[in-house]
Amino acid sequence: MRRGVWWRKSAGQSVWMLGMGVVAAGLWAGWLGGTESGPYEVWQVAGLVLSLLVVVCWAAFRRRVVAAVAGTTAGLTVAAWCDWSDDSTGLFVVGVALVLHGSLFATALVSTLVRYVAPGPR
C-alpha cells in the first residue's frame, strides 16, 4: 500500500458509517416520530424495517458491510434513546438495549447474506 493512502480508506469508511447512522435515525424519525401516546402501529414498524432493509442491502452490495452494520445499529440506538429517554421509570434503557441487539443481529445477518450472495462491485 502506498504511503498516505490508509487514511483515505478509513475516512471513507467513517463517512459511510456516519451516513448510515444519519439515514437510520432519519428513517426512525420519519416512520416512528410524532407518536404522542400508545404503542407504535404495525404499519409504522413494518415501514421502518422495509426502508432499512433497502438501505442496508444497498450498502452491503456496495461492499460496505461494516458501515451498514455499525452505522445502522448506532443510528437506531441513538434514535431510540432520544425518543424514549423521557420515560420516568428508567425502563426505556431495556427497550434501547433490545433495539441495539436486535438491529445489530439483523443488519449483520442481512449484510453478510447480501455481500456473499449478490455479485457486487469488486
Where b means 16+ CB within 10 Å and e means fewer, 3-12 reads eeeeeeeeee
What letter represents residue 83's amino acid? D
Residue ranges per domain, the chain?
A: 6-117
pLDDT at 35: 64
- Checking if the pLDDT of 30 tops 70, the result is yes
Query: Quick one: pLDDT at residue 59?
Result: 94
Spatial contact of 20 and 67, defined as CB atoms under 8 Å apart: yes
Q: What pLDDT is stored for residue 11 in this prediction? A: 77
Helix H, strand E, coil C: the string for 18-54 is: HHHHHHHHHHHHHHHCCCCCCCCCHHHHHHHHHHHHH
pLDDT of 69: 96
User: CA torsion sign, 63 to 66 to 68 to 71?
Assistant: negative
Amino acid type, 10: S
Asked whether residue 114 carries a pLDDT value surpassing 70, the answer given is yes
Whole-model pTM?
Answer: 0.87
How many CA within 13 A on the CB side of residue 23?
21
- Residues 1-18 have pLDDT tens digits of 456 565 566 777 889 999
Rounded Cα distance between 10 and 93, Å, is 32
> What was the pLDDT predicted at 20?
96
Q: How confident is the model at residue 24 (pLDDT cuts 50, 70, 90)?
A: very high
Q: What is the largest CA-CA distance in the chain?
A: 56
Predicted confidence (pLDDT) per residue in 47-99, tens digit? 999 999 999 999 999 889 999 999 999 999 999 999 999 888 989 999 999 99
| pLDDT at position 38 | 67
- Which residue do the cell numbers 459511510 mark? 16
